[in-house]
């Protein structure tokens, strides 16, 4: 079990890294609000080259945040929430641990100030 948590770290880090870029995060947001979109569409409002967008989409795909399917002559990208949930769970876990640690600390302090 503790080993599965260790795996969670190695799994979560690249995930956060993928989200830790303004361009990629805005791509994720666009996909989340507008649904599946082809590369050119995603490029349009991005202010950068199609190649750059493509690279970012590949990066997102590499960590499983995004999937793509070829439709005709265009390649459509869509979100995959599974990985997003992993990230969420990780953050929730950290919060919970911290709260617990804080509680222990508080109890300890109050015990020793008699």
Binding positions for DNA, rule: CB under 7 A: 21-24, 38-41, 43, 48-52, 54-56, 59, 72-76
Q: Assign 84 to helix, strand or coil.
A: helix
Choose which of 2, 4, 22, 114 interacts with a copy of itself (CB under 8 A).
Answer: 22
> Exposed, middle or buried by CB within 10 Å (0-12, 13-18, 19+), for 41?
middle
User: What is d(CA 54, CA 68) in angstroms, rounded to the nearest whole number?
Assistant: 11
Name the binder of 9 from a copy of itself, DNA, none, CB < 5-8 A by kind.
Answer: a copy of itself
For a copy of itself, the binding residues in 23-42 under the rule CB under 8 A are 25-26, 28-29, 31-36
């Amino acid at each position: 079990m503790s080993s599965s948590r260790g795996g969670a770290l190695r799994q979560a880090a690249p995930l956060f890294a993928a989200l830790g870029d303004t361009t990629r995060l805005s791509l994720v947001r666009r996909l989340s609000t507008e649904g599946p979109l082809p590369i050119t569409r995603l490029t349009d409002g991005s202010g950068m080259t199609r190649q750059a967008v493509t690279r970012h989409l590949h990066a997102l795909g590499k960590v499983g945040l995004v999937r793509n399917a070829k439709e005709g002559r265009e390649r459509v990208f869509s979100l995959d929430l599974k990985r997003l949930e992993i990230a969420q769970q990780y953050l929730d876990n950290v919060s919970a641990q911290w709260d617990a640690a804080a509680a222990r600390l508080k109890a300890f302090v109050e015990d020793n100030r008699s």
